[in-house]
Amino acid sequence: MNSSGQKVLLGVTGGIAAYKSADIIRRLQDQGIIVRVVMTPSAEKFIGKVTLQALSGSPVHLDMFESDNRVMEHIDLARWADKILIAPTSADFLAKLANGHANDLLSTVCLAADCPIYLAPAMNHAMWTNPATQTNVEILRSRDYQFLGPDSGDQACGETGAGRLMDVNNIVQTLLNNAQLLKDKKLLITAGPTREAIDPVRFISNHSSGKMGYALAKHAKLAGANVTLISGPVNLSPLSGVNLVQIESAQQMHDAVMAHIDNTDIFISAAAVADYRPESSATEKIKKSNTKMKIEMQKNPDILADVASSSNIFCVGFAAETENIIQNATLKLTKKKLDMVIANQVGKNEHGHFQGFHSDRNKLTVITAKNQHDLAEDNKDTLSKHLIEIIAEAYEKKHSS
């Protein structure tokens, strides 16, 4: 794997694991990566600036106003980096990032950055599991920050639990591998619901939030892909570096997919597309008059089937089912001649809570013609990361055979 010339800005925050930043620098450099370092004031209490400066071969940056030459050093550093890795990331720094604070050089660089930012938390297990920290983690995950760890095990305080800095070799390999899995591949992803108009104020839709599709687009981008995301109406922020196409109806999504399908390597149909639409849509609001109203419905185009039947693109579908999940998903796989189907149960569970739709969590079954395996319940961000890894591996196997 050739990473020569890649530029990584290493941020070091206060914590006993700060001493491992020296090893991280060395291992990144072994891969041909150029490293520069920004430390927080508290980090210098744990490891000396001179040590990291000698290892990186570049000045270590501590203070926003330390440079005699550049007042806008935080902007320079943010634009210089291809990636930012903060290892270790303290609980305090997670809180700063989640709340948009910019009161030291490192937090200001992160706020000004438009490159991927990787966070490797390290702290006492009680601090990691504290609800305040976990809320900050969820906020940051929703804003495209990529978490590396933490690991579980013995801690410097003598206690045991989750909160150890991820193994340094795993940090470095994940940082490198993520950018290589789908390097320069073109991915087209659909997300969210569609809305099928009844009249100017009413429509038929579903409970899809779009969170899974957006998370897949995020991790595909982190994996080095060129990503176009075609999205129905959702309450989610656009993703940095992802080409976003916004639509409303199933027909509009079909048209957008077909307009962008040329030269696509992988198509992931994560959207919950309406199967039917009203045969006609009233031009004015329909007034309440009779006790009943009849709406004639017509079938929408099958986007996934059209893509799979008209190209050699690697096609991944989602099967959101309320019953007979595996059987129905497998039928979809074979009937539409897909490479892979991701199956999950949707609707309300026995406790009356939505699962799949609306929820931040899910559990999935990945099905191909040769095998299937389950992904245990987790947040959609983590599941999407695993799915991109699985899809990348399956794509490579297909094209190398």
Positions marked active-site: 157
Name the one residue in this structure whose structure tokens are 């199933």.
Answer: 250
User: What is the rounded end-to-end Cα distance, in angstroms, of the chain?
Assistant: 21
- CA dist., res. 246 & res. 191, Å (int): 10
Alpha carbons 334 and 369: distance in angstroms, whole number: 8
* 3-state percent helix, strand, coil for the chain, nearest multiple of 5: 35, 25, 40
Q: CB of 363 within 8 A of CB of 343?
A: no
Please state, in angstroms and rounded to a whole number, the distance separating the CA atoms of residues 245 and 22. 43
Q: Tell me the β-bridge partners of 245.
A: 230
DSSP output for 276-314: EEESS--SSPPPP-SS-----EEEPP-HHHHHHHH---E
Question: Residue type at 50?
Answer: V
Name the nearest CA neighbour of 357 among 349, 370, 346, 365.
346
Quick check: 182 and 258 in contact, CB under 8 A? no
For the record, the structure tokens of 361 come out as 């969590």
Residue 81: which of 25, 28, 31, 7 has the closest Cα?
7
- State the amino acid at position 267 in one-letter form: F
> What is the phi/psi pair of residue 40, to 5°?
-85, 160
Please report, for residues 10, 64, 110, 179, the alpha-carbon distance to residue 88 in angstroms, rounded to integers and kept in the order given.
10, 20, 15, 21
